[in-house]
Structure 1
Amino acid sequence: MTLRRRRSLSIALATTLAGGTLAGALLTAPAASADAWRDKEFWLKDSGVTNAWQVSKGAGVKVAIIDSGIDGSHPDLNGVVVGGTDVSGAGAPNGQKSIGAKTEHGTLVASMLAGRGHTTPTASPSASASAPPPVPPSTPPAGGPDGIVGVAPEAQILSVSTWLGSPNPGGKSDQEQIPDAVRWAVDNGAKVINISLGSTSPDWPQSWDAAFLYAEQKDVVIVAAAGNRVGGNIQVGAPATIPGVLTVAGLDGEGRASVDSSSQGISIGVAAPAEKLVGAMPGAGYAEWAGTSGAAPIVSGVAALIRSKWPEMSANQVINRIVSTAKDAGAPGKDPLYGYGILNAEAALKDDVPAAASNPLGSIADWIRVHRRGDFSEPSQAPVASPTSAAPTLADPTVPVAKTPASMDDALPAAVVLGFGGLFLALIVGAAIQLRRVSKRPGPVVEEAETGVMETVDPPGKK
C-alpha cells in the first residue's frame, strides 16, 4: 500500500508498505451485502485458483504474514489466525492489533490469502411479523458464501505485527523488526512467509542476512511484493531483491504489467493481479485497493496449496513449480516486468514439473559467501540481540593520509634510496652513450624472425 510518509533506515533503506491505494469511499462501507464482494474476486477464476481447489485448499499449512497486524475477529477470518506475535514493541502480544501508518494493511492481505468468508444470518420465513428478529451470533460460523475467500481458504495464519511507515512508539527500527519477524515465523512453524512490504532501495542491511539465510536453511518459502511505481518504487526494492525470495510483480485489469501498481527488476519471479482488488478491513468492513501488496498474498496462497498437496516438497521445488508453470508474457523468457510470466495456479497444482537442481531465483547462502565473504554452513538456532546493523564483514576501505616530514633520525633510509636512484640514472646515461658508439661500427648481426638463421650483413660500401 503506497505510503505518503516514509522512514529512512541508518543505511538509507526506506521500508514501506508495498500495496496501493484504498478507494476512499469504501473505507466506511457497511458490511451489508457482503456477497457482492465475493463477486469482485475476479482473480480466483482468472488466475486458475478455483480449478486449483480441485487439488488442494491449503489445509495443514501455516503462513506467516509480516505486516501491520491482523484483525482475527473479522467474520471472514474467524478461526484463521492461529498464532502471532509483535516485533515492534507497540502492538499486541498476539499480533492482532492493527498498528503502523496503514493499520488496515495486514487484514487486507490476510483475507486475500486465507479468508474463509462467512454466512450472513437470515430471518426464518415462517417467523411471525410481530416476532422479534433473531439475535445474530456473536461469532459467525467460519466459512460461507459471503465475504472474502482467500486463495488458500483452509490454510492457517500467523500474524507478525510490525510498525512501519511512521515513527514507531515502540522504539524498534524497521531494520530490527524485519529479521526478528522472519526468525519468529520460521521458529513457529510457518512453511510460507508473506512480506507485502517494500523499499526504495535494492540493498538491505547486513543484519538481515542471517534471518533470511535461516529461513532458507529451514526450507521456508518467502514471498515478497515488488513495490509500486505510484509509491516511488520504480525499481524493485528490498526485501524483494534478496536472492531466493519469490518476488511478485503486479498486473492491471487487462492482464498487463501495471503502470502504477507494480515496479520492475531482475529479481521478479512471477506476476499476479494488483488492480481492482478487494479485501477485508478491521472491524468487519471491506474495501477496494490496489498494489503488489495484494498480488503477493495471491502467490503466497498458491504456495500454500502446493505445500499442502506435497508436504515433503522442498521450498526450492515449490518456487520452481510456480515460476515454471507461469504463462510467459512480455519479452520471451524471464524479463524485468513479468519475471517468468503470469501466475497460473491450476498449472502449478496439476502440471508435471521436472525437479530443479536449485531455486531458480538464487540462494542467499551463495550471495553471502560471495558478497559478504561469509561462511554460514549451519543455521543459527537462536536469534542474537538485534543490533541496528551487524558488524561489517569486510574491512573498511582505506584512504591515503598525509604524513609528517621525516626527522633527522629517519633521513638515512631516504638518502640510501636517493643514492641508488642516482646510480641507476648514471648507468642509463652511460649505456645510451655506448649504444651510440656501437651503432657507428660495421658488421651487425641480424636474426631472421621466421627461420632463426643468423647471417652477416656487409657494411655499406663494402664490395
Structure 2
Amino acid sequence: MTARSARGVAAPWRILAAVLVAAASSTLVAATPEPTPTPTPTIDPIQLAEYWLDGGHVREAWETTRGEGVTIAIIDTGIAQGPAAFEGAVVGGTDVSGLGSPDGRTPVGPVDADHGSLVASLAAARPAADGTGMIGVAPKANLLSVSLGFGASAPVPFVQQVAEAIVWAVDNGADIINLSFTTNTLDWDKSWDDAFLYAYEHDVVIIAAAGNRGSGTASVGAPATIPGVLTVGGVDQHGIASRAASTQGITIGVMAPSESLLGITPDGDLIRWPGTSGAAPIIAGVAALVRAAHPELDAANVINRIIRTARPSDQATQNPDPLYGYGLFDAAAAVKDDVAPVDANPMGDLAEWVRVHRRGAAEPAPVPSAAPVTLPPLPAADPPAAEGSPLIPGADSLLYGTLPLIALTVPGILIALGVTAAARRIRSARAPRTPRS
C-alpha cells in the first residue's frame, strides 16, 4: 500500500465545512508570509465547493492529465445545448427515445429532463475562459450525449433504448459509458447481454450508479448488477456510506461522494443535488484521467487501477466490502501509482455469466475418434409374386396352410367320433334292464 493510499479516508471529505464558509465570500485569502508580501490568490468559491476534487486528490491527478483525447458517453436524458460549460465538450449525440432531437441535445422527460446535464457537468464540465465556474473531474475530455426517455411516455421500450444507446456510443468512439440510472431489479433484459458484450469487445469501460435508498432502491439493481460494470456507491462528506443517497450491495466496486453535489442545469444554473447518479460520473471522469494518462491500458486494467488504488474505509469490515466495495476513489493514485496488470475484468465476466445462466448455445457435437465402419451391402430383395385373386389360395398357402390344416383336422374329427360312439356303448351296457311281465 502506498503512502497516499494509507492516509485516513474520512478527513479529506471534511473540507466541505470550510469550503462552505469560504464560498460565502468571493475570495479566500491565504496567509501572507513576512516580511515579503505576496499577492492574495483568488480561489473560485464554486470550485472550492466541489469538495471531491481535493478529497479524491483530483487536483493532484491534473498535474498529469485532464482527460485530453478521451470520450465519455453520457446515456441519460440529454446534455443541454445552452450552458457554456458544455461548449466544445460535446462532440456528438443521438436520441434513442423517440422524444428528443437527433443530436441528443434536447433534454427529454417530464420530470428529470435536467438529469443528463447535471451528470455531464460532474464528469467533464469546462470552466469559463478565466478559469472560474464549475469544473468537471476530466475537464478536457469529450462528451457524447445520448438522450433516453424514462417512464411510459417514450414510444420506444426502455430496454430497447438502452441497448441501442450502448451500441451507438461504441460505434461513435466512446471510451467510457456512464449509466446513472437503475431498473431496481437484479436481472436485466436479454437484449442487454449483446449490447454490453459489444462494448466490452470494443474495449469500453462501463460505469453505473448503485441507486439511492431515498428514491426507493432497496438494493443494487441492473445495470449495476451486470458483470464487468464498475458500480459506484455513494458516501457523504465524511466518507461514510450515505443512508439516503446511495444503496449497498456486493457488486459495488468503488465509492464517490453522493451528497451535496453540484451540477449545471439545462438553463445554465448551478444547483446542489444528491445521489449516486452524481457519484458515477465522478468516477467516469477518473476513468477518463486514467485512460488519458495510460492509453496503452485496456478497459479491464483501467477499472483495476481505480479499484486497487481506492482507499479502504475505516468502516469497512472486508475488502471488497458490501457497503464500500474496494473503498473511496483516489484519482491521483489511479493515475500515478504502480499497479500490477490483470488479464481479466476484476468486476466479472459477462460472457461466462451468459454461458452459464442463459444456457447459451448448445455444446458442439463430439468429433468421432475412429474411422466409420463400412458395412457390406444388403442382398437384393426377392421379386414380387405374381398378382392373383385374394380368394384363390396360392401354392404357398396350400403347402404351408391348407394341407397341414386338413392333415390335422380330419384325424381329429375321426378320433372324436370314435370316442363318442364308445361312450354311448358303455352307457348302454351299464343301464339296468326292466324285467318283462
Alignment TM-score, normalising by the size of structure 1: 0.67
Distance 1:37 1:328 in 2: 28
Q: What is the one-letter code of the residue matched to 1:81?
A: V
Contact 1:72 1:81 in 2 (8 A): no
Distance 1:243 1:72 in 2: 34
In structure 2, the residue matched to 1:358 is 344
1:42 to 51, 54, 78: 51
In structure 1, the residue matched to 2:112 is 102
2:85 to 76, 90, 93: 76
Contact 1:71 1:98 in 2 (8 A): yes
2:121 to 100, 107, 111: 111
- Write the mapping of 1:54-453 to structure 2, written as runs, cut at 5 A: 54-100=63-109, 101-119=111-129, 144-164=130-150, 166-168=151-153, 170-329=154-313, 330-374=316-360
Shift of 1:189: 0.5
Shift of 1:212: 0.4
Shift of 1:174: 1.0
Give the structure with the higher percent helix: 2
Distance 1:281 1:47 in 2: 24
Shift of 1:375: 5.3
> Structure 1, residues 315-369: CA drift from partner, whole Å, max 9, x if none?
0000000000001121131011111111011110111000112111101111111
Larger Rg: 2
Contact 1:368 1:375 in 2 (8 A): no
In structure 1, the residue matched to 2:395 is none
Distance 1:373 1:60 in 2: 40
Distance 1:60 1:373 in 2: 40
Distance 1:104 1:35 in 2: 24
> Which runs of no fewer than 5 residues in structure 1 stay unpaired?
1-31, 120-143, 377-463
Distance 2:188 2:114 in 1: 26
In structure 1, the residue matched to 2:369 is none
Shift of 1:46: 0.4
Shift of 1:299: 0.4
CA RMSD of aligned residues (A): 1.6
Q: What is the one-letter code of the residue matched to 1:245?
A: V
Distance 2:120 2:276 in 1: 14
Q: What is the one-letter code of the residue matched to 1:236?
A: V
Distance 1:65 1:95 in 2: 10
Contact 1:68 1:99 in 2 (8 A): yes
- Relative contact order, higher structure (CA 8 A, sep 6+): 1
Shift of 1:56: 1.2
Q: What is the one-letter code of the residue matched to 1:107?
A: S
Distance 1:176 1:87 in 2: 9
Contact 2:81 2:106 in 1 (8 A): no
Distance 1:37 1:279 in 2: 11
Q: What is the one-letter code of the residue matched to 2:262?
A: V
Distance 1:90 1:67 in 2: 13
| Percentage of identical aligned residues | 51
Distance 2:180 2:269 in 1: 21
Contact 1:77 1:117 in 2 (8 A): no
Contact 1:58 1:305 in 2 (8 A): yes
> Structure 1, residues 28-72: CA drift from partner, whole Å, max 9, x if none?
xxxx99953222101001011000011111000111000000013
Give the SS at the match of 1:118: coil
Alignment TM-score, normalising by the size of structure 2: 0.71
CA 1:118 to 1:375, structure 2 compared with 1: closer, same or farther past 3 Å? farther
Contact 2:84 2:268 in 1 (8 A): yes
Give the SS at the match of 1:199: coil
Aligned residues: 319
Give the SS at the match of 2:155: coil
Distance 1:35 1:280 in 2: 16
Give the SS at the match of 1:209: helix
Contact 1:68 1:106 in 2 (8 A): yes
Distance 2:174 2:167 in 1: 10
Q: What is the one-letter code of the residue matched to 2:88?
A: G
Contact 2:237 2:259 in 1 (8 A): yes
Q: What is the one-letter code of the residue matched to 1:155?
A: A
Q: What is the one-letter code of the residue matched to 1:239?
A: P
Shift of 1:297: 0.5
Contact 2:218 2:247 in 1 (8 A): yes
Q: What is the one-letter code of the residue matched to 1:237?
A: G
Distance 2:317 2:170 in 1: 36
In structure 1, the residue matched to 2:21 is none
After superposing the two structures, state which structure 1 stretch, 301-310 or 72-81, moved more: 72-81
